[in-house]
Structure formats: C-alpha cells, structure tokens
Amino acid sequence: MRITIVEGDITIQDVDAIVNAANSSLLGGGGVDGAIHRAAGEELLEHCRELRARDWPEGLPPGRAASTPAGRLPADHVIHTVGPNRRAGQTDPDVLASCFRESLAEAVRLGVRRVAFPAIGAGVYGWDADDVAAAAHQVLTDESSRWEPLDEVRFVLFSEAVAAVFRRRML
Ligand code: AR6
C-alpha cells in the first residue's frame, strides 16, 4: 500500500472512494463537505438522506464512518466521517484517529483499491494539521496489516502548507 500526498481538490481525484469530513447530520455543510456535495449533485444528498434514515436516525457520531454512492463525482463512493469538533470541546485525538480507522475499514469493506482523504478536522473543527496527520499516520502504521487490500491511500490537502505538514509526518 502506497501513501501519497498531493495539494489539490479532493472532488476531482481519480480514486475509487473519497472521504468526506462531514457533520453528524450527514446532510452537507461548508468546507470540503460543501465542495463534495456541490460537485456530486443532488443525488449525493438523496443517498445521505437514505443512509441517515436507515442507519443513523440520530446522526453519525464523531469517530464513525459510513458510505454512499458518489453521485456525479469521478469516485464511486463517498465515505462520510465526522471529526471531533475541537472548538466545541471535543479534544480527544483518539476520536480523530477513529475517523481514519473507520474510514479505512469501510474502504476495505467496499473492496476499493484507492481512497483519498482530506485533512479531517483541520478546518471548521479547529484541529492543527499536524495533529490530524499524526492521527492518520498512527492508524496507518499501527494497523498496517489491515490496510493491505488497499493499493493507495492519498491525502489531498487544500494548501501547500498543510501538504508539507503531512509530508513531514508520513514520508
Ligand atoms: N479538497 C480538499 N480539501 C479541502 C477542500 C477540497 N475541495 N475544501 C476544504 N478543504 P473542513 P472539518 C480542506 O472545515 O474541520 C463542514 O461544514 C480545508 O482547508 O472542511 O472536519 C462540515 O459539514 C481543511 O484543511 O472540515 C462540518 O460541519 C480540511 O479540508 C465541519 O465543516 C477540513 O476542513 C467539519 O469540519
């Protein structure tokens, strides 16, 4: 399994699944969540409504992940995960690590080969990019045998500064 780090927009990545830094409602928001819903179209919102009604009527808790088809995106699947909201006092880095663990496990469950992640929690939810990179790195290395079915885990960072932070941790 290769770890790659690129600066760019996650909505245009040529991978099998992208991970969304969602909120518990699963019904869209700002940041990367808003960008993914805009690019994927109304179909993604419909899938999210169904997912929520079927499996998460009280919302997806922080640290959990669940997937839907990807609407108009180049990817086949969107894996939605909810970071801990540091600004609201959710400061446990294990919950952040759980976002990466559960999203990777969902990618394996879906049988996909290439999955792309944004810097979950590093925007509205207030985490330092280095804390996010450390959480992701810990899950990838501590449980590496679980992720062997994957060919590529790509981190797609919205700025060169955040990409540099991820490169320092991962490579
Ligand atoms: N591609 C890649 N990364 C992006 C993109 C993009 N198109 N757009 C933004 N980012 P955030 P969070 C980066 O705030 O902190 C939403 O409203 C961004 O620069 O999207 O987990 C949800 O609905 C930052 O580095 O996610 C929740 O309410 C990173 O993605 C809440 O925000 C994550 O920033 C979740 O907050």
Query: Among 33, 76, 128, 131, which one carries the catalytic annotation?
Result: 33
Give DSSP secondary structure letters for 75-141: SSEEEEEE---GGGT---HHHHHHHHHHHHHHHHHHT-SEEEE--TTSSTT---HHHHHHHHHHHHH
The DSSP H or E segment spanning 67 is strand 65-69
Domain count, the chain: 1
- Which CATH number is 114's domain given? 3.40.220.10
User: What does the alpha-carbon distance between residue 68 and residue 80 come to, in Å, rounded to a whole number?
Assistant: 8
Whether 33 is catalytic is yes
Q: How far apart are CA 2 and CA 74, in angstroms?
A: 20
pLDDT digits (tens, 9 = 90+) for 116-153: 999 999 999 999 999 999 999 999 999 999 999 999 99
ipTM of this predicted structure:
0.99
Spatial CB neighbours of 27, under 8 Å, sequence gap ≥ 6: 45, 48, 49, 52
Ligand 1: list residues with CB < 6 Å: 9-11, 21-23, 29-33, 35, 83, 118-125, 156, 158, 162
- Residue 24: give the domain boundaries: 2-170
> What's the pLDDT score for residue 171?
86
Q: Which two tokens stand for residue 5?
A: 């780090």
The C-alpha atoms of residue 117 and residue 104 are separated, in whole angstroms, by 10
Nearest ligand 1 atom to the CA of 11 is 7
* Residues lower than pLDDT 70 in the chain: none
Q: What is the pLDDT of residue 69?
A: 98
